[in-house]
Structure 1
Amino acid sequence: MLAQLFTDAAQSCKGSSPLTESLLLNAAADLSAGGVTTRVMAGYERDRKGTMPALRFAGALHRLVLEGRAPGLAKHYPSVGGSPHLATLWDAVLPVLREHTDELRARIGATVVQTNEPGRSAPLFGGLQVAAHAAAVAAGRDEPFPVRLLEIGASAGLNLHPDRIAYRLGDGAVVGDPDSPFVLDPEWTGRPSVDLTRPLRIVEREGCDLHPIDVSTEDGRLTLSSFVWADQLHRWDRLQAALELAAADPAPVRQATGPDWLADRLAGQVPDVLTVVWHSVVWQYVSPADRAEGRAILADAVARATPEAPLALLVYEPRRTHTGYEFHLLLKLWPAGVSLRLGSGRGHGVPFNWEEQEWV
């Protein structure tokens, strides 16, 4: 039932986005009552939970606010300078739904949820440092390997620039690129087990996505911005900084399935470079068939890896625990045989707790 999916999505916002929680709870009640939300969501009644219809609804409304076409609603949206008043929020939403019913329905049908959260660059940066160092030790090299970074489910490619971000650590130290316009407080507990002051050299960066977003366009920037919950200004500011960084030097993101693209990119060895396959919070959206094919392609590449042309898998994905779900940063490195859980954090990558242990 669509109303239940909206209610479930609202619960996921509880404690972190009161604006989105209130919006979705009211929309769920309106759906149950057969109100205007029913017309806006017409055709999507049987959408799967994984397609996140409620967040597509919220994103479509936010997009109208960002475009300046819902001034009454904008008064509640901090992303454009407003201040939420939850008791009257739905009263401001209703006229927007009535006026833009057809447009909202079309946008909800044409988009997929893509937050491309740049906070995940922080655990990625530390994980790449660990991988480059461990591969060098295994190969008997004095210096860490340069990195070839390949991302599956890259969206707009915002997390393909971890070396170009300034990471401000708790003791005041800054690692990464201290001259970057994007300064990120990663909120780390602990540190990676390597020297972070050594430059991370990424010599090639590329991604794939079924629905890539072009950050050089206004439409692309608005699409990503619309999926940030409007009262989470820390995430909003982080995204805008990442968009500025990516627009100056966009990383290529190909429109392709993960297995097809990965088979092409891993077909040959690249000597004197550590090839890293990376993905974050994407596994849940991949079909079982594509998962199996992707594993087989990776296994073939693993068999060809050498100390001089090593291969790594680095992922940041949710894993079920006795208390629910945690997001774990996991590393496998071949042929060195390294298998580590580097730590855990929240879905957006910030904060993060470094705690290196064997990954079995």
Structure 2
Amino acid sequence: MLAELFAAAAEVCRDRSPLTHRLLDDAADDLRRGGVTARVMAGSERDREGTVPGLRFAGAVHRLVLEGRAQGLARHYPTVGGRPDLPTLWRDALPVLEDHVDLVRQQVQATVVQTNEPGRSAPLYGGLLVAAQEAAKAAGRTVPFCVRLLEVGASGGLNLRPHRVGYRLEDTVLGDRDSPLVLDPEWTGRPPADLTHRLRVVGRAGCDLHPVDVSTEDGRLHLSSFVWADQLPRWDRLRAALDLAATDPVEVERSAGPEWLAGQLARAERDVLTVVWHSVVWQYVSPADRAMGRAVLADAAMRATPTTPLALLVFEPRRADDGYRFELLLKLWPAGISLNLGHGAGHGTPFTWSVTPWE
């Protein structure tokens, strides 16, 4: 079973990260033979699919490279200046795994996959502009609402700064043009909003069962290890997002989503749009917490007023004819607006704006 989960994770990476694909494909074969990977993964044999043990393994190996503990393997990893040679990758990985069986096993068992991908700020930013302006129209206002952003499953909180990021569109930059993080959102189409309006964020908070403190070296290494090492644009985005976080700290509280959200939503701020947000986290949430979260949100939605509106804005994978598609979904209360704003890659870019009802 574990070998099949590794093989499935490898297939996901096939066209996007040849290095990770090859590492996990060879590791799957090694698992079937009862090789060193079986010893590394001892104790994780019954891990469920949603915990993606293959990606946890790949992240643990990448972390060894980043920490300088895998010199023979480092030559394959572009994040430390290497260049992949796929036919010899597994040959060079084997002695590293043999030398660090206990360390890699400990890392695999102690960690959860957390990419906290900064590229997702691009569709979030557009979605927030739409939400603030649509809520204002529904309330008969001419000026968009200020936004209070609440993120469930915030990890290191890197996407709690959408107003502090720059978004390059042709010959202009939206958002903060002086930000250390300037994204090319790779938009097809545009958000159904007036892009000349500035997004005003007046409050931010986040929670996570396993929050990452990005002010520490351990926290930065944790997030860095889950970047596929041959995707240097993602690596560069993360480094810039970490630099931004250092200048604008936001605490992420250790808490389960429903309880934390209930506390946050117990108070409403007049003339502020409260936006509940999460991205690529739903698959990790238990059925019980999903149900509780929906109930908390439904209760808050009933209390929403034109001067204290509420929004749900999520970027999550949904089933489609060809598998899964990452969609940006928006609900607004009490306006009764429910929109599918478009779809994009799992890391947020590229993104296609295509507005339809959220059904």
Q: What is the SS of the residue equivalent to 2:104?
A: helix
The CA distance in 1 between the partners of 2:267 and 2:162, in whole Å, is: 25
Q: Deviations over 1:154-182 (max 9, x none)?
A: 0000011111111001x222101111111
**How is 1:56-205 mapped onto 2 (pairs within 5 angstroms)?**
56-169=56-169, 171-205=170-204
TM (normalized to structure 1)?
0.98
One-letter amino acid of the counterpart of residue 287, structure 2:
P
SS in 2 for 1:174: strand
Name the residue aligned to 2:239.
240
Q: Confirm or deny: 8 A CA contact 1:36 1:98 kept in the other structure.
A: yes
Which letter does structure 1 place at the counterpart of 2:190?
R
Residues 99-138 of structure 1 show CA distances to partners (whole Å, capped at 9, x for unaligned) of: 1111111111110000001111000000000000011111
Percent identity between matched residues is 70
Alignment: residue pair count: 359
Find the counterpart in structure 1 of residue 311 from structure 2: 312
Cα offset, 1:221, TM superposition: 0.2
CA distance in 2, matches of 1:113, 1:202: 28
* 1:240 alignment partner AA: R
Other-structure match for 1:16:
16
Q: CA deviation at 1:59?
A: 0.5
Partner Cα distance (2:321, 2:75) in 1: 41
Aligned to 2:223: 224
Task: Report runs of 4+ in structure 1 exceeding 3 Å deviation.
Answer: none
C-alpha separation between the residues in 1 aligned to 2:44 and 2:291? 29
SS at match of 2:270: coil
Q: Which amino acid aligns with 1:294?
A: G
- Greater shift after overlay, 149-158 or 34-43? 34-43
Q: 2:351 is matched by which residue type in structure 1?
A: F
How far is 1:72 from its partner?
0.8
Q: CA deviation at 1:197?
A: 2.2
Question: For residues 323 and 46 of structure 1, what CA distance do their matches in structure 2 show?
Answer: 28
CA distance in structure 2 between the aligned counterparts of 1:238 and 1:17, rounded to whole angstroms: 16
Q: How far apart in 1 are the matches of 2:180 and 2:268?
A: 34
- The 5-angstrom pairing of residues 261-300 of structure 1 reads 261-300=260-299
Shift of 1:323: 1.8
Pairwise CA RMSD: 0.8
Give the secondary structure class of the aligned counterpart of 1:88.
helix
Q: Secondary structure at 2:159's aligned position in 1? A: helix
TM-score, normalised on structure 2? 0.99
CA shift for structure 1 position 34: 1.0
Deviation, structure 1 residue 195: 1.5
Q: Which residue identity lines up with residue 2 of structure 2 in the other structure?
A: L
| 1:50 and 2:72 correspond | no
CA shift for structure 1 position 44: 0.8
Q: Determine the C-alpha separation between the residues in 2 that align with 1:62 and 1:253.
A: 25
CA distance in 2, matches of 1:219, 1:247: 14
- Where does the alignment leave 5 or more consecutive residues of structure 2 unmatched? none
State the alpha-carbon separation in 1 of the partners of residues 78 and 124 from structure 2.
29
Q: Structure 2: how far apart are the matches of 1:41 and 1:82?
A: 26
